[in-house]
């Protein structure tokens, strides 16, 4: 079977962002960028399916600026076979991303599409589900385990109350949760090999997708900062303060 994985270039998860002084957005100049952690998990799962002989081709797609090729190369170093970049300098929203991915799905006809459950910048948690509808596919979001069978895939999902297992008809969409797997590190020979793997570059216009958004970001502000409080010397003092000062117990 064919597996398509969508990966996004985002700010490195260790970095605490700063809001620009004109409140137009967050300052991304010279900050370290990386593959969204949930997307790494998606790539890892696809590569494991290939290693198990379940998948025979893993294609990775990203939508973003030219430099997003770095994340596609990283995915190929982890084991993906080829890459597609839909190049755009516009910051696109989930719906536009899902529409573009739906076009890629139409061309590639994958049996399984794996995405991260959310990107750590926008924290939207939407793209996979939107793609599901647009491509007419079933979905297993927040997956912590997947088992591919004949014409179907069983997905265990992390939900608020615990775990839920669904059976999805193929083709299907899966979005990854943190505990699906632990991504490997790329080895140097594989990084070198990835440089020779095919990477196709397209534009949104090639797919005839309208990427105009119905949303406008008016303002981006810093949240109210919490300031550090006091250190207490003992458990007794802590209990006393919680009772009499904070009055929360």
Partner 1 sequence: MSILVIAEHDNGSLKDETLNTVTAAVQIGGNVDLLLAGENCNAVAEQAAKISGVNRVLVADHSVYAHQLAENISLLVTELAADYSHVLAPATTNGKNFMPRVAATLDVSQISEITAVVSVDTFKRPIYAGNAIATVQSMDKVKVITVRATGFDAAACDGSATIESLDKVTDAGLSSFVKEELAQSDRPGLTSAKVIISGGRGMGNSSNFNLLEQVADKLGAAVGASRAAVDAGYAPNDMQVGQTGKIVAPDLYIAVGISGAIQHLAGMKDSKVIVAINKDEEAPIFQVADFGLVDDLFDAVPELAHSL
Considering the complex, what minimum distance in angstroms separates the CB of residue 7 from partner 1? Answer: 17
* Backbone φ, ψ for residue 3 (5° rounding): -120, 130
Q: Cis (ω within 30 of 0) for the bond into 67?
A: no
Q: Exposed (0-12), middle (13-18) or buried (19+): which is 183, by Cβ within 10 Å?
A: middle
Q: Cβ closer to ligand FAD: 120 or 191?
A: 120
Considering the complex, what minimum distance in angstroms separates the CB of residue 209 from partner 1? Answer: 12
- Return the C-alpha torsion angle 79, 80, 81, 83, nearest 10: -140
* Alpha helices per DSSP H over 59-148: 69-77, 94-108, 127-134
Q: Is residue 139 involved in binding ligand FAD (CB under 6 A)? A: no
**Which of 3, 37, 79, 80 touches ligand FAD (CB under 6 A)?**
37
Residue 82 Ramachandran class (φ > 0 left, ψ -120 to 50 alpha, else beta)? beta
With CB under 5 to 8 Å by kind, the binding choice for 242 among ligand FAD, partner 1, none is: partner 1
With CB under 5 to 8 Å by kind, the binding choice for 109 among partner 1, ligand FAD, none is: none
Separation of alpha carbons 236 and 243, rounded Å: 11
**Which of 3, 4, 6, 76 touches ligand FAD (CB under 6 A)?**
6
- Residues 44-63, one symbol each (x = binds ligand FAD by CB under 6 A, - = not), give -----------------xxx
Contacts (Cβ under 8 Å, ≥6 apart) of 229: none
Q: Cβ closer to ligand FAD: 37 or 204?
A: 37
With CB under 5 to 8 Å by kind, the binding choice for 226 among ligand FAD, partner 1, none is: partner 1
* H or E stretch at 182: none
Considering the complex, what minimum distance in angstroms separates the CB of residue 111 from ligand FAD? Answer: 17
Considering the complex, what minimum distance in angstroms separates the CB of residue 96 from partner 1? Answer: 9
Separation of alpha carbons 167 and 190, rounded Å: 35
**Which of 12, 217, 239, 242 touches ligand FAD (CB under 6 A)?**
217
The candidate with the shortest Cα–Cα distance to 91, out of 170, 12, 45, 24, is 24
Residues 186-215 that bind ligand FAD (CB under 6 A): 215
- Return the C-alpha torsion angle 51, 52, 56, 61, nearest 10: -60
Considering the complex, what minimum distance in angstroms separates the CB of residue 28 from partner 1? Answer: 10
Considering the complex, what minimum distance in angstroms separates the CB of residue 113 from partner 1? Answer: 14
Residue numbers of the site for ligand FAD (CB under 6 A)?
A: 6-8, 13, 25, 28, 36-39, 42, 61-64, 91-94, 97, 115-116, 118-122, 124-128, 215, 217
């Amino acid at each position: 079977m064919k597996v398509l994985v969508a990966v996004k270039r985002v700010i490195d998860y260790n970095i605490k962002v700063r809001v620009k002084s004109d409140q137009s957005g967050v300052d991304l100049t010279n900050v370290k960028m990386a593959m969204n952690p949930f997307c790494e998990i998606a790539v890892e799962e696809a590569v494991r399916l290939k290693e198990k002989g379940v998948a025979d081709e893993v294609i990775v797609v990203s939508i973003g600026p030219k430099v997003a090729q770095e994340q596609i190369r990283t995915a190929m170093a982890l084991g993906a076979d080829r890459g597609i970049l839909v190049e755009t300098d516009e910051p696109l929203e989930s719906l536009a991303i899902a529409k573009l991915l739906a076009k890629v799905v139409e061309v590639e006809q994958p049996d399984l599409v794996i995405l991260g459950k959310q990107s750590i910048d926008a924290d939207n948690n939407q793209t996979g589900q939107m793609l599901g509808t647009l491509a007419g596919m079933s979905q297993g979001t927040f997956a912590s385990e997947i088992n591919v069978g004949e014409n179907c895939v069983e997905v265990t999902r992390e939900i608020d109350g615990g775990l839920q297992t669904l059976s999805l008809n193929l083709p299907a969409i899966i979005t990854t949760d943190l505990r699906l797997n632990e991504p490997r590190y790329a080895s140097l020979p594989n990084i070198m090999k990835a440089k020779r793997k095919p990477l196709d570059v397209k534009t949104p216009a090639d797919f005839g997708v309208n990427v105009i958004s119905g949303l406008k970001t008016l303002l981006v502000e810093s949240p109210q900062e919490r300031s550090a409080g006091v250190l207490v010397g003992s458990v007794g003092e802590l209990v006393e303060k919680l009772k009499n000062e904070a009055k929360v117990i």
